Amino acid sequence: MAITTKTADQALKSYYLSAVARQLDTGVNPLLAQFRKTTENVYGKDVKKVILTGLSPSFVAGTEDGTLPSSAGSSYATFTTTLKNLYGTIEISDKAIRASASNDGAFVNLLNSEMESVLKSATFNFGRMLFGDGTGALGTIASGSDNSYIVDKIENFAVGMPVDLYNGSSLISSSLAVKSIDLDTKRVILTSMTSGAAGYKFYAHSSKGNEITGLQTIFESSEIYGLSRSSYPALVPYKMKAETLTETAIQTVIDKVEANSGSKINFIVCSWGVRRALIELLSKSRQLQPMELEGGFKALSYNGIPVVADRFCPSGTMYLLNTDDFAIHQLCDWQWLEGEDGSILKQVPGKPVYQATLVKYAELMCYRPAGQGKIYGITEV
């Protein structure tokens, strides 16, 4: 059978969609894989979730003929947030399609290569967003000019990544691309010149203000999902500074979180340097046993709690989470954007290439911020 854009559409719909969706949901990041996916509480473009902000006086010990306890609506509040638009795009040239028209194997390899590219990009960007603040900010310029800059967070950049440069809310340059990075000096080299200066920020291209809510927002923002933490103290996570990582410090946070909110920590994520410090600490008193998580990920175990390290976790930081308090709310699972005729591959206007776009409208919500803990300021190994 000759390979055409129609047969490519059929392959993308019938075979690649389910495989890629499963991989995107469970295989790109060990923390993301722990979160439940649901279509509940989605109303149009928004997610609205009623949460409990404190104990109600609906249970009391009273007299035999006394007044019965009443419910307390004031103990509830509503989280409201907008679904974020998540896209993954593959691109195939007309020449490549024609070259593989009579070779099924070559065509499959072509599609496999594009799918692997999407998954690689998703792995990087989902990981980055999980630890971000939803703004899409990658890093702030410390110094540099033209196409070479020192930034404060080099881990958020990757070679080939398209980025935008802003000075506050003003766009300075759009669709810049990263040519190379130096992790040791935190230097980013761009493929073209731009007029950057200290204090300017790089953002993921077209993503400014459009990314999912990450741990930075959950732990540090003054507002979360439309509610002020000053008005609702129960929305404040527990944080503790500890320069030296000890089992006492870890257990203190676990105990404090449970005492403050009733939440039980079941997942720990930290920076690579903190994981090395934890390995050094635990290896002195016990034999380290790895754990296997959903998606095939491996984790270190701390008293039965999985511990994973992530490149995007801030240095010197350990997050102690109850993943049961999190969910990915989505309008639907991953789908292909289709044209009016049902086609998936669409020619890019003015170019001899075809594109297909995966889309999911979703948002990460943490129902109980006070049920999460954080240790920061840890000396890394």
Note the pLDDT tens digit of each residue in 262-277: 889 999 999 999 999 9
| Span 199-223, average pLDDT | 93
Give me the pLDDT at residue 102, please.
67
CA angle 148, 150, 152 (to 5 degrees): 145
Euclidean distance between CA atoms 305 and 308, whole angstroms: 10
CA angle 263, 265, 271 (to 5 degrees): 135
Euclidean distance between CA atoms 180 and 258, whole angstroms: 45
Q: What is the pLDDT of residues 312-364, one digit of tens each?
A: 999 999 999 999 999 999 998 888 888 878 888 888 888 898 888 889 999 99
Reported as a pLDDT band with limits 50, 70 and 90, residue 301 is confident
Q: Any idea where the domains of the chain sit in the sequence? A: 5-54+74-132+329-366, 137-204, 236-326+368-376
Q: Which residue has the higher pLDDT, 76 or 40?
A: 40
Average pLDDT score, the chain = 87
Give me the pLDDT at residue 272, please.
92
Question: What global pTM score does this model have?
Answer: 0.86
CATH of domain 137-204: 2.40.10
| Other CB atoms within 10 Å distance of the CB of residue 86 | 21
**Residue 364's closest CA among 38, 24, 23?**
38
- Domain 236-326+368-376 in CATH 3.30.2320.10? The answer is yes
Q: Which residue has the higher pLDDT, 257 or 8?
A: 257
